Structure 1
Amino acid sequence: MKHYLALIVVIIMLVGNGLESQGAGRTDVSDDLNRMYSVLNSEGTEMISFEIMMRETISRDDVDTYLSELDKMGDSSEQKTDKASKFVVHTPHKQKTIDERILLVVPTDKEYQAELIYTISGTDWTEKIHRYVQDLTTDAQLRFFTQDATKFACLKAGFGDKISGGVLFQNVMEKLDVQPLTNMQDNVYTTTTGHTTQLKASRSLADNMNIQLALHDGNGQSTVTVGTPIITTEY
């Protein structure tokens, strides 16, 4: 079963409530990811993947300028549909096992502005990778985004039968000092949203929410996923 709750949450909260600033721009988003990694690693989990994302709406008048900057990053490809034109630059960093991608979406309907989406993803996290990712995100911020850009960090880790999913989830909540706001649970999944002062690069959503945690415990595929302000990947 694939869960895309994060996308739905983003749309509802951005449209219905807006965003509240909480130290945006003062802390690099990779620092938030590094904090998540430290907590999950201390609980004996094994990292599966990470993703950092920055996104911002841009004026249609500035599209040509952004396309020129994209060309400087590398070879770009264009994908056209009835609804939008998408310009993508994909840059694998094989030595660091990192994928860097930037996407410019220009809706066909001229009533809508364009959107720029930058992502870095990978399957390993070390201090060297942290510094490397930090340099990349800082450069992307300066070249393409303003301080109003929305930033996301997400990390997924796995754990074996020797670790209790419930205890792990509670320990992660405590170490990140999460004050819970909502909780959903079924036979396989536990999903919690909350607020923490330990993750500072992202902006808070409605009700001061700036963290989401998901536990999948069972069938030999036990994972825990943490995202700020929400989970942006499948969990």
Structure 2
Amino acid sequence: MWKNILAGVLAAAIVGTGAYPQEMTQEQEPLMMFASFAEDKQLNVEEWTMMMKRKVPAEQSGEIMERILEQGQHQEVSHEETAQAEKWIVTNRHKNKKIVETYSMISPRNMKNKAELVYSIQGEGTSSLTQDLFLSVEDVKSRYFSKSATIFSCLKAVSNGIIDDVLVYKKFKDTLDVATIDEIDENGWTSRSGWTDKWAQSIPSGKQSMNVQFATRTLGGETNITIGTPIITAEY
């Protein structure tokens, strides 16, 4: 009980006066829980990422890109054409905030194949996790993705020294009620996948479903921790 209260207090402190845990959507909760856990264990949050993917009919890709470009707030636009596909990458770097938004669209020349739209937003530290940020992500979701679209969340943190990754994972497991499905341990690198009832989104893993991954890597006298749902989408 006290762990849940502490996580709620930390999450409220992270997002300031705007967003509280009971006001968050299921897509926002995992990232805030990861950040709260890192703050509680005195880990330095280096960066976080949220990502959405969608397959769209190739003939609709041009219209969608026009709508994205019409927003008029993007600082960088790249366009590439090959014999197989057309690729757009649109980037918006927020002023005075360490936040970067990216849209990418790969549209195949063969109209029988579907195009892929990917939206990602990433930031540095917990100070960039604000209510306005989450409102912006919800707006993008409603404009270009379905209500049921999965949001992939990932957070990277680092300790000031080498720590016991087994103990840290146990604390993470206890905090979020994670049932471990699979574990890999190879020379200073570990990866664990599991299931928690804290949020609904998941992907199949053999005969089971998984919705959280926890990875650690020890390098140069410090331990790097990467947490993701339903899978880790960044390199670690």
Alignment TM-score > 0.5, same fold: yes
Residue 146 in 1 paired to residue 146 in 2? yes
TM-superposition CA deviations, 1:83-133 (whole Å, max 9, x none): 42111211111322100111111123333200110000011223x633122
Question: Could you say which residue in structure 2 is the equivalent of 1:34?
Answer: 32
CA contact (8 A) 1:181 1:193 kept: yes
User: Structure 1 177/79 Cα, relative in aligned 2: closer, same or farther at 3 Å?
Assistant: same
Query: Is the radius of gyration larger for structure 1 or structure 2?
Result: 2
- 8 Å contact kept, 1:57–1:113: yes
Name the counterpart of 1:98.
99
Distance 1:81 1:169, change over 3 A: farther
> CA contact under 8 A between 1:29 and 1:52: conserved in structure 2?
no
Structure 1 residue ranges without an equivalent (≥5) = 1-25
135-144 vs 67-76, which deviates more?
Answer: 67-76
Are residues 88 and 28 of structure 1, via their aligned partners in 2, closer, same or farther at CA, if it must alter by over 3 Å? farther
Give the TM-score of the pair, scaled to structure 1: 0.81
Deviations 1:37-93 (A, max 9, x none): 101211110011100001110112312320221111335321224442111211111
- Give the Å deviation of 1:149: 2.2
Please state if 1:205 is matched with 2:207: no
Give the structure 2 partner of residue 173 of structure 1: 173
Task: Give the secondary-structure state (helix, strand or coil) at the position aligned to 1:96.
Answer: coil
- Distance, in Å, in 2 between the alignment partners of 1:130 and 1:29 is 14
Query: For residues 73 and 173 of structure 1, what CA distance do their matches in structure 2 show?
Result: 42
Unaligned runs of 5+ in 2: 1-23
Aligned to 1:89: 90
Q: Given that residues 151 and 203 in structure 1 are in contact (C-alpha distance below 8 angstroms), is that contact kept between their aligned partners in structure 2?
A: no
**Alignment RMSD:** 1.9
Quick check: which one's strand share is greater? Answer: 2
| Pairing 1:109-128 to 2, within 5 Å after superposition | 109-126=110-127
Give 1:29's aligned amino acid: E
The 3-state SS of whatever aligns with 2:70 is helix
Contact 1:92 1:100 in 2 (8 A): yes
Corresponding residue for residue 11 of structure 1: none
Q: Which residue of 1 aligns with 2:61?
A: 63
SS of the residue corresponding to residue 126 of structure 2 reads coil
Distance (Å, rounded) in 1 between the aligned partners of 2:221 and 2:95: 30
The question of whether the paired residues in 2 share the 8 Å contact of 1:192 and 1:213 is answered with yes
Q: Deviations over 1:9-44 (max 9, x none)?
A: xxxxxxxxxxxxxxxxx9352322111110121111
Return 52-61 or 26-35, whichever deviates more.
26-35
Counterparts of 2:118 and 2:232, CA distance in 1: 16
Cα offset, 1:170, TM superposition: 1.7
Secondary structure of the residue aligned to 1:217 is strand
Distance 2:136 2:170 in 1: 33
Report the AA paired with residue 36 of structure 1. F
Q: Output the CA distance in 2 between the equivalents of 1:67 and 1:184.
A: 41
SS at match of 1:77: strand
Identity %: 26
2:53 is aligned with what amino acid?
R
Greater RCO, 1 or 2 (C-alpha within 8 Å, sep 6+): 1
> Aligned partners of 1:109 and 1:168: how far apart in 2?
49
Q: Deviations over 1:189-221 (max 9, x none)?
A: 110111011234x33333110111101124324
**Which one of 41, 44, 59 corresponds to residue 42 of structure 2?**
44
Residues 141-167 of structure 1: CA distance to partner in whole angstroms, max 9, x if unpaired? 111111242320000100022633321
* 1:215 alignment partner AA: T
1:80 is the counterpart of 2:81: yes
Amino acid at match of 2:41: E
Q: Distance in 2 between matches of 1:101 and 1:80?
A: 19
